[in-house]
Structure 1
Amino acid sequence: MCDKHASTQPCPADTRQSSRRRRVWELSHACHCPLIGVGLPLNGLRKLVEKVTGGRVLHDDYDIHVGTVSECALRTPVAEAVQKELERRYVQHIQRFRAARTAEQVEALWTAAVTAGDVAGAFWAGLTHPRCTVSLEEKMCRDIHMVQHQAGACARADINKFNAVVRDNARLERETTRLQERCNALTQEKQLESERQDALLMSARTALIAKDAEVAQLRAELARLQAAVPELDTRERLAERVAQMELREQSLRAQLAELKTARPAPAPAPAAAAVIEIVPEPVSPAPVRLENRAVLCVGGRSSSIPVYRTMIERVGAQFAHHDGGLEDSSSQLDASLAAADLVICQTGCISHSAYWRVKDHCKRHGKRCVFVDNPSMSSLVRGLQEAATEDHLSE
């Protein structure tokens, strides 16, 4: 058995029968380079050397590797530090190889490790195993040499893949940036559109509230007007009745015209409108006397106004007309009422407010007012007869 304190040269492995594991400086020099290169990472090796030397090593990785390989040929502080680090790092592999009792078992464990790709710890445990022979050591060095070649090829392939991944990553980053900018622009656009829609919705709600308030106000006004004019429904029915009677009158006039064209017309009789006489009462008949009277006709159809004027002027009165608030200004109604001696109000053709103003004015001033429901010629004649009869009775 070799004594590490007696000699620094390794003993031939084929003659070893001891159970003690070899140290790193007891290995052949050909094993040091692959062992240091595979067993210790470059950054770990640099820290180990700096720790031993007590300072910062300024050499590059290659110089540190070569120097460490040279130091491991002898038992130096660097070699002892390498020995300690390898023992600490690969303690599990050492325990697994310790079960081998022959060189064949060590070789089987090594082959399994190469197949599994776990060579660093197995390389150290196999080289330092007591049953490791020279031939097995050479085989392990050849295997590790090929593994390093394969690892280099894989590393180059990985580098190429890595570079391709870097390029793809840069391209994807550019596309991601472009998509992110587009997404931000769309988000801002949608936000502006949402704000605009919210403003429109708020405006629509405001307008709706205003419309509801206006509708409520109009309903209240309608209720007030309906309360102020209790007989509104009756007057509406009367107006509808008048319209139906006018249609009936037009139909009868058309039939009368057809009858007149069918037979010779008789000698014309004096028109009732030309000389208006009061239908004599059984007791005291009296003619119509409206000389020098101002007669105000409120309401009526505009097409009948010339006929009204002619009829009233034929009985010696002065004619005045007001449309009852439809077109003429309602402020002119009071002046016309004040100047009139007789008021004929056609209730079916005036506004509600004009009707009440006429009625209130005549009541306050004691002025005669004849209300006529139908705006026809016969109704006007009856109104004049009624006024003339009242004048006769008052005399």
Structure 2
Amino acid sequence: MCDKHTLPATVEGLQGSRRRRVWELGQNSHCPLVGVALPLGVLRKLVERVTGGRLLHDDYDIHVGAVSECALRNPLSEAIQKELERRYAGDIARFRAARSEDEVAALWTQAVADGKVPGAFWAGLTHPRCTPGLEQRMCRDIHMVQHQAGACVRADMDKVKALMADHARLLRELEKAQQRCQLLQKEKSAQAACHEQQMMQARAAAIAKDTDIHQLRGALAELQAAVPELDARTRLANRVAQLEAREQALRGQVAALKEERDAARAAQAVAEAMQPSPAPVAAARLDAVEAPVRLFRRSVLCVGGRSGSVPVYRDVVERVGAQFAHHDGGLEDSAGQLDASLAAADLVICQTGCISHHAYWRVKDHCKRTGKRCIFIDKPSASSLLKSLQEVATAEN
């Protein structure tokens, strides 16, 4: 008489709510169940734990032995039962909602389509509404799934071989790239060492220059301490040299202009002798201002004015016997020359319309401090200059 646990459940017994155990399944279901639902590593650990020692058998012998043990209730089949229940608890809960064979079949079909076979296979086989026909169908489906998996494995193997070939090629390219990088690294290291050496030399040269500068500053300080007011004397000597050079240039300029004036007067006299004509108004005015003798040998400085009118200003001033000097008011001539020209002048004529603000205030300040006569002309013209000279001559006479 057989043990009650070794008999498979009948269809009438399946109408209850109790799920079947692994040893209650058909023998045709044990092989695909163990092969699909239990990874080989997990199966080997279960068998070793039950047997109490390490197995030296290969994976096929362990699989065959486990399949044969699942036909009866024993420690190994019970361990397999617990492992399957623990591993696929989520699938069991999902299949528990099925109330008929069709619903179980629908869940199984969906699991096969989704590729989630192992848990659905265990949950479907042990479901109370799983009939022998559905069990046989599930075994056929799992058989085909294994064939498809084998085909996929073969395709994956081809892909793996291709990937391994690409991997080998990439390794060779990587090795070449690493060699190039090593060569570049050596080259850059040599360049960096050369640059570092050049930088050290530059630092040494800079330190030497700083040392020389420090020594020269010390020597300069000693000289300044030995000679009182050295800076002031140096500035005064430079200023004197500038003034002397300016005076020499002005004297040469005055001599040249006088020669040009005499030549022009001679030419004009010859022309007037050959063809007498009435004198222009400007010449009459110039002759009128030649009378004041107090402007003879006086230095008249004209500050500002248009550059094209400077020869006219010079002729007007020299007609009254004075020496002419001109400064453009800071447009091209330096401010230092203005101070020297102001110091050498007896009379200053400032044309405010053609002069910078800085030069204007320097002229005004100098004349105020020294009490020197200064005439400010708004419109830069020869007639304005003639009128100003007449006023000066009248005031001095």
> Normalised by the size of structure 2, how large is the TM-score?
0.51
The match for 2:40 is 42
Instruction: Work out the CA distance in 2 between the residues paired with 1:42 and 1:190.
Output: 60
Displacement of 1:180 after TM fit?
5.5
Instruction: Work out the CA distance in 1 between the residues paired with 2:63 and 2:79.
Output: 14
Displacement of 1:164 after TM fit?
4.3
Instruction: Work out the CA distance in 1 between the residues paired with 2:132 and 2:226.
Output: 127
Aligned residues: 239
The match for 1:355 is none
The match for 2:65 is 67
CA gap 1:197/1:231 in 2 versus in 1, 3 angstroms: closer
Instruction: Work out the CA distance in 1 between the residues paired with 2:118 and 2:146.
Output: 11
Map 1:1-395 to 2 at 5 A.
5-6=3-4, 8-13=6-11, 16-169=14-167, 171-172=170-171, 174=175, 177-178=178-179, 181-182=182-183, 184-185=185-186, 188-189=189-190, 191-216=192-217, 219-220=220-221, 223=224
CA gap 1:159/1:178 in 2 versus in 1, 3 angstroms: farther
Offset from partner CA, 1:120-177 (integer Å, 9 cap, x none):
1100000111111222112211221222222223333334444544554553453564
Percent identity over the alignment?
A: 52
Q: Which amino acid in the other structure matches residue 117 of structure 2?
A: V
Q: Is the 8 A contact 1:127 1:137 kept in 2?
A: yes
Q: Which runs of 5+ in 1 are unaligned?
A: 245-395
**3-state SS, counterpart of residue 144 of structure 2:** helix
Q: Is the 8 A contact 2:35 2:63 kept in 1?
A: yes
Q: Which amino acid in the other structure matches residue 131 of structure 2?
A: T
CA gap 1:211/1:182 in 2 versus in 1, 3 angstroms: same
Q: Which amino acid in the other structure matches residue 66 of structure 1?
A: V
CA gap 1:141/1:223 in 2 versus in 1, 3 angstroms: same
CA gap 1:187/1:116 in 2 versus in 1, 3 angstroms: farther
Question: C-alpha root-mean-square deviation of aligned residues, in Å?
Answer: 3.7
Instruction: Work out the CA distance in 1 between the residues paired with 2:163 and 2:201.
Output: 51
The match for 1:390 is none
CA gap 1:134/1:183 in 2 versus in 1, 3 angstroms: farther
Offset from partner CA, 1:105-127 (integer Å, 9 cap, x none):
00111111112211111000001
Displacement of 1:48 after TM fit?
0.2
The match for 2:282 is none
Displacement of 1:13 after TM fit?
4.2
Q: Any runs of at least 4 consecutive aligned residues in structure 1 with deviations exceeding 6 A, and if so which?
A: 224-234
Q: Which amino acid in the other structure matches residue 81 of structure 2?
A: Q
Instruction: Work out the CA distance in 2 between the residues paired with 1:13 and 1:197.
Output: 96
Max Rg structure: 1
> Normalised by the size of structure 1, how large is the TM-score?
0.52
Q: Is the 8 A contact 2:18 2:128 kept in 1?
A: yes
Instruction: Work out the CA distance in 1 between the residues paired with 2:27 and 2:215.
Output: 108
Q: Which amino acid in the other structure matches residue 146 of structure 1?
A: M
Offset from partner CA, 1:190-233 (integer Å, 9 cap, x none):
54245224313312321321331354256457658867999999
